[in-house]
Structure 1
Amino acid sequence: MDVRLDHLVCWVADQRRSLHFYEQVLGLPGVRTEEFRDGKAAFPSVRISAETILDLIAYDALKGVDEHTGVKGSSGHPINHFCLSVGKEDFDALQVRLKQHGVEISGTATNIFGAQGIAPEAIYFPDPDGNVLEVRYYD
């Protein structure tokens, strides 16, 4: 079976603020951002890879989410963190952008296991809504 991650959904308080964070601080390209700004899309997304996006859904959209997923209590269900892997050069550049934007790195790790094996370094930091991101690189 050939399986790929299609999308993740993050609950956010302010979609525009979160979109700014993911586009400007993390450097991820927006998806459907004009449609969102024009009121034609309920939420914006950012592209993680050619096959994966991150949807930024407002907390006030919670009504109806349980019905959509068919799982009672799925609205706003928290996750511990999600991880993005980048190249070493992008990893270093991200740390500079985080500092420029006043985003504090809340944790670090070395030689940490992940989907592609052992990553030499990883950093952890929150987005504007407290969702924790891990960013790492592999040799």
Structure 2
Amino acid sequence: MRLDHVVLWVQDPAVAMDFYTRVVGLQPVRFDEFLTGDAPFPSVRVSDDSIIDLSPSDKAASTETQTHVAGSAGHPVNHVCLAMTKAEYDALIDRLQAEGIDTGARLAPTYGARGWGPEGMYFPDPDGNVVEARYYDD
């Protein structure tokens, strides 16, 4: 079993796409289709088999109609964690700091899906969603 996707509520998908591609370093998925109205939201690729959907928060009510779970749409997620190599982690810190984003919320060591990692950090996206980044020794 694998995690397929996570949905984040965002005010402006274009702003969120810029952040997750330019600053975080993920690849866009269906962004052009979103801009032309052929996709309801864009996504960013985390790995070959997982993405993060950047869903416009003004569409939250229609999500409840789709899921049939009353009161479930628009709730914030505590955080999403991205695992990467040490080199990717260091490059991400540089990009975040260049944007003026605080990278001081560090955990060392930190525990995740692959066990203990030497370090992780939390940072906000433009909508206040919290992202954790970490690396493992392997």
- Category of TM-score, reference length = shorter chain: over 0.9
Check conservation: 2:8, 2:77, Cα contact below 8 A.
Answer: no
Residue matched to 1:54 = 52
Write the distance in 1 (CA, Å) between the matches of 2:123 and 2:12.
18
Match of 1:70 in 2: 68
Q: Distance in 1 between matches of 2:17 and 2:104?
A: 21
The partner residue of 2:107 within 106, 109, 113 is 109
Structure 2: gaps (5+ residues): none
Deviation, structure 1 residue 106? 4.9
Superposed, 1:1-139 pairs within 5 Å as 3-139=1-137
- The Cα shift of 1:126 comes to 0.3
TM-score, reference length from structure 2: 0.96
CA distance in 1, matches of 2:76, 2:35: 26
Total equivalences in the alignment: 137
SS in 2 for 1:62: helix
- Equivalent residue letter for 1:23: T
Moved over 4 A (4+): none
Identity of aligned residues (%): 48
Give me the CA root mean square deviation: 0.9
TM-score by length of 1: 0.95
Q: How far apart in 1 are the matches of 2:115 and 2:45?
A: 23
